[in-house]
Amino acid sequence: MREMEKKFYQFPKDFWWGSASSATQMEGGAHEGGKGENIWDHWFKEEPNRFFNGVGPENTSDFYHQYLEDIKLMKELGHNSFRPSISWSRLIPDGDGEVNQEAVDFYRNVFQTMLDNDVEPFVNLYHFDMPIAMQNKGGWTSRDVVNAYVRYATICFEQFGDLVKKWFTHNEPVVPVEGQYLYGFHYPGELDFQKAVQAGFNAVLAGAKAVQAFKADGYEGEIGVILNLTPSYPRSQHPADLKAAHIADLFFNRSFLDPFVKGEFPQDLIELLKEEGFMPIVEEGDLELIKNNTVDLLGINYYQPRRIKAKEHLPNPHAPFMPDRFFDYFNEMHGRKMNPYRGWEIYEKGIYDILVNVRENYGNIPCFISENGMGVENEERFLNENGQIQDDYRIEFYKEHLKWVHKALEEGTNVKGFQCWTFIDNWSWLNAYKNRYGLVSLDLNNNFKRTIKKSGEWYRELSHNNGFED
């Protein structure tokens, strides 16, 4: 039999190739350089048992001390871009007071080193790491914290705007809402839907105010947001399943996508919240401000789909209100592909469906894949005799997703890049180092030694050739 002909998937000139991480997950130096405490430092101190193997946020990949080596490695792996975040509690230790000059110097050195190595900084302002002093004031539920965030964002623009031309207000703003006020996987782990709604609204308002400040002061560059747009697929075309999937989409995708990109909240979501008696407190002028300060650029994080079916049983009328009183998750699907370590479905076409939706329903806003990756447990099983992890499964994962990105691109989606999660194995919230995602492996038992994985070498070729053959 003749071997199937291979195809070369060519991407446009100047396509962004890189990766993403966050301050809390990779910096380390949690108690150094004048850094204040954030919610993760505090939670680990209070309840270390919640964290996998008792490993807390001071045990990260130590970028704080090793950024020079790491940025050179990024360049070696073909990165022309990288998305870190700034730690609010490092820059302003109490969230709303004096600026920490040591932090200013550190971040300026990082961004300058990136530019010197032809790696463009895509800088995110908020990645799940509320300063504990701000959380004690109510976190995203508090109007004072919104104002403190806008001051923090403005200070970032002032201090780093000469080096950074791509800014992002939040990473996955729905996740702190879920984690802090619905499902308990972020501190303070409360179950309070009214707080969830207020926190979500205030995060959108904070983002719009940061966009307003950026534009008003005439900074060069673009400001965007990073959203995890997990598609909600109905089990069937039955009206009840379709309605359930629509409601899941409203809560988890459109609640942030619509206001950040279109400047308005979905009417269906507003009606539903009114009906249930959970509208946020909205002050005069808020909606106008959100309408007039939408983002320039959309980052899209995609890992897995959401499978939805109509509710199987009537919800308990006395239980606390939760979004999933309107739908159930549907996971009993024959033949689906799984990542058993995360319990996540691998569905590559999902990335295409998101890009088509953005093209058709959101004005084809300039966008890029800002996270996509595969976490695997006990990767040392795949070490070869030279001490390199042979992660062919990760290469396959990226290839199959990139084929769908390429298809969307060919059809006219304004997609400008692909940043994987992540550059180096990093600490991952309550999971710590349970699953590894990096293109570079991190040896925690050997002075944080870095070794390029097979996927890292493949990624270098991908970037060098601006595409791949398969």
User: Which residues are known to be catalytic?
Assistant: 172, 371
Q: Is the peptide bond before 294 cis (omega within 30 degrees of 0)?
A: no
Provide Rg for the chain, Cα atoms: 22
3-class DSSP assignment, residue 298: strand
Rounded-to-integer distance, Cα 296 and Cα 215, Å: 11
- State the virtual CA torsion across 185, 191, 195, 200 in degrees, nearest 10: 40
Q: Please check whether residue 201 is in contact with residue 159, taking contact to mean a CB–CB distance below 8 angstroms.
A: no
User: Which helix or strand (DSSP H or E) is residue 458 part of?
Assistant: helix 454-465
Number of C-alpha atoms within 13 angstroms, CB side, residue 282?
16
CB 454 within 8 A of CB 388: yes
- Across 103-221, the runs of DSSP E, i.e. the strands, are 120-124, 166-171
149 and 204 Cβ atoms separated by less than 8 Å: no
Alpha helices, H only, 165-230: 174-181, 193-216
Q: Give CA–CA dist 321/318, Å, rounded.
A: 9
Angle at Cα 406 formed by Cα 13 and Cα 20, nearest 5°? 75
The encoded tokens of residue 59 equal 């045990």
Instruction: Name every residue whose Cβ is closer than 8 Å to that of residue 146 and which is 6 or more positions away in sequence.
Output: 140, 202, 205, 206, 209
> CA-CA distances (angstroms) from residue 53 to 58, 179, 221, 435?
14, 20, 42, 12
Q: How many CB atoms lie within 10 A of CB 454?
A: 17
Find out whether 462 and 17 touch, Cβ atoms under 8 Å. yes
CA dist list (Å): 381 to 210, 376, 387, 389, 428: 45, 11, 11, 8, 20
Whether the CB-CB separation of 70 and 27 falls below 8 Å is answered with no
